Amino acid sequence: DTEVTQTPKHLVMGMTNKKSLKCEQHMGHRAMYWYKQKAKKPPELMFVYSYEKLSINESVPSRFSPECPNSSLLNLHLHALQPEDSALYLCASSPRLAGPADTQYFGPGTRLTVL
């Protein structure tokens, strides 16, 4: 099973709302990633967790707050977002962080719209 699941599939929120995105994998992977993707653009890395610890934060604004409660679950908490944050948010996982030959497996994404 190489499945990464993400919920919700779609999310519409106002700029004052607080919401969370959820990602789950049961492949035993120890590296998990959040990406942001604008239309017709490649994914942009936001955060990387390795063994449930934040390893990489690509200078993401504090209105995005990641959390890794356990090795299978990754959350992205959203607060006071701006309309320009509207995008497809992708979660991915790989067996380990520093594995050059390792494949990243992507979830279907959450389409976020900020009004």
Partner 1 sequence: AQSVTQLGSHVSVSEGALVLLRCNYSSSVPPYLFWYVQYPNQGLQLLLKYTSAATLVKGINGFEAEFKKSETSFHLTKPSAHMSDAAEYFCAANTGNQFYFGTGTSLTVIP
Which residues lie near partner 1 (CB under 8 A)? 4, 6, 40-43, 45, 48, 56, 88, 90, 92, 97-109, 111
Tell me how far, at minimum, the Cβ of 100 lies from partner 1, in Å.
4
Beta carbon of residue 19, minimum distance to partner 1 (angstroms, whole number): 19
Q: How far is the CB of 98 from partner 1 (least distance, A)?
A: 4
Taking the least distance from each CB to partner 1, the nearer of 48 and 76 is 48
- Answer yes or no: are the C-beta atoms of 20 and 110 closer than 8 Å: no
Strands 53-57 and 4-7: unpaired
Coil, strand, or helix at residue 41?
coil
Closest CA to 95 of 43, 47, 40, 25: 25
Residue with tokens 């309309």: 83
Based on CB atoms, which residue is closest to partner 1, 22 or 79?
A: 22
Residue 88 amino acid letter: L
Instruction: CB nearer to partner 1: give 80 or 88.
Output: 88
